[in-house]
Amino acid sequence: MPTLSIVVPIYNEAEGIVLLFEKLREVLSAHEYEIIAVNDGSRDNSWDELLKIAASDTHIKLINFKRNYGQTAALNAGIQAANGDVIVMIDSDLENDPADIPKLLEKLNEGYDVVSGWRKSRWEKQMLTRKLPSLMANKLISSVSGVHLHDYGCTLKVYKKEVVKDVKLYGEMHRFIPVFCKWQGGKITELPVNYAPRKYGKSNYGIFRTYKVLLDLLLIKFLDKYMHRPIHFFGGAGILSFIVMFLATALAVYFKVTGQKDFVQTPLPTIAAMFFLVGVLMVLLGILSEMLMRIYYESQDAFPFKIKEKVNF
Ligand code: UDP
Ligand code: MG
């Protein structure tokens, strides 16, 4: 049986965590497991509660951040510390139900690398203000990333160690972990899970997370297509600019030689000069990005590909 690492991010959840750990222990009793709880700079007494819980149970490992770094950082720290073959991530506010874990693991055993929870019944009472935006966001992320999931925002997901250990998380990118797993060659699916609204504390995100998600998505699209060849993106934009420059120049010259308009009578020379500059800058940016990409890989002796297996080496 694979060993499990349960990763739990915790920010101001003092009231709920005793119950959470009770439920987790009950569900996990048949497994070999560790629980890695990351206290993300809570301002309440979450940390004291955690120390109490961990004192009597060596399954529970604690990481205490110096300050609040955000859910992505907390999950990242948990992933890095995990020793299990399978990593389970779950929210600490009891919106996710630990009782769903066995079901997700069973699905994983069918040959998947990631099984994502899908809180089918979330926001049922706030159709217009929450459910619809969430539906649209998940549709958009699915179609841009090519990884079709109904609930990117659900933390409760299980991952095989191989596809998630090397994933690099920055900013608020935890929502896109399945996409990064796909980039590592992972096979991804989803399962409906239970959902219970928060009883204690309050949510750390509002509807205004949307614009951040859009920007992150843009970045993901860029990284997916051009991470290993940024010159094609920036150089492409540069070439487009040069084309506009040539067209503007040609038109200005045409007006001049046919005697219709002098150079100073149209904005065309200015446009040509502007696009020339943009074109040069774009190409230079492309070269710079290529150098950065090389530094990124070569500084860690990494390669921009993952080998599945080798034979007769
Ligand atoms: N969380 C965290 N650091 C933060 C914000 C949230 O570790 O800065 C944790 C929080 O304790 C919870 C999970 O991340 O376990 C999800 O947060 P929340 O419930 O506020 O988000 P929502 O469920 O509303 O999307
Ligand atoms: Mg929550």
From first to last of its 313 residues, what are the pLDDT tens digits of the chain?
789 999 999 999 999 999 999 999 999 999 999 999 999 999 999 999 999 999 999 999 999 999 999 999 999 999 999 999 999 999 999 999 999 999 999 999 999 999 999 999 998 888 888 889 889 999 999 999 999 999 999 999 999 999 999 999 999 999 999 999 999 999 999 999 999 999 998 888 877 778 899 999 999 999 999 999 999 999 999 999 999 999 999 999 999 999 999 999 999 999 999 999 999 999 999 999 999 999 999 999 999 998 889 999 9
41-71 b/e (C-beta count within 10 Å ≥ 16 → b): bbeeebbebbeebbeeeebbbebebeebbbb
Atom of ligand 1 nearest to the CA of 91: 15
Domain identity same for 202 and 250: no
Domain identity same for 132 and 203: yes
Q: What is the count of structural domains for the chain? A: 2
Q: Which domain holds residue 16?
A: 4-226
pTM: 0.92
Give the span between the Cα atoms of 206 and 133, in whole angstroms.
12
| CA of residue 37 to ligand 1 center, whole Å | 13
In a domain, 304, yes or no: no
| Other beta carbons within 10 Å of 36 | 26
Mark which of 192, 208, 226 sits at the end of a domain: 226
Nearest-5° Cα angle at 77, 76 to 79 = 65
Give the span between the Cα atoms of 311 and 273, in whole angstroms.
57
> CATH number of the domain that 26 lies in?
3.90.550.10
Domain identity same for 107 and 248: no
Whether 282 and 237 have beta carbons less than 8 Å apart is answered as: yes
Handedness of CA 40, 41, 46, 50 (dihedral sign): positive
> Ligand 1, from 7, 11, 17, 44: best to mutate by most atoms within 8 Å of Cβ?
11
Domain identity same for 81 and 220: yes
Atom of ligand 1 nearest to the CA of 95: 23
Domain identity same for 123 and 191: yes
Domain identity same for 171 and 37: yes
Q: For residue 154, which ligand has an atom nearest its CA?
A: 1
To which residue do tokens 């998630």 refer? 164
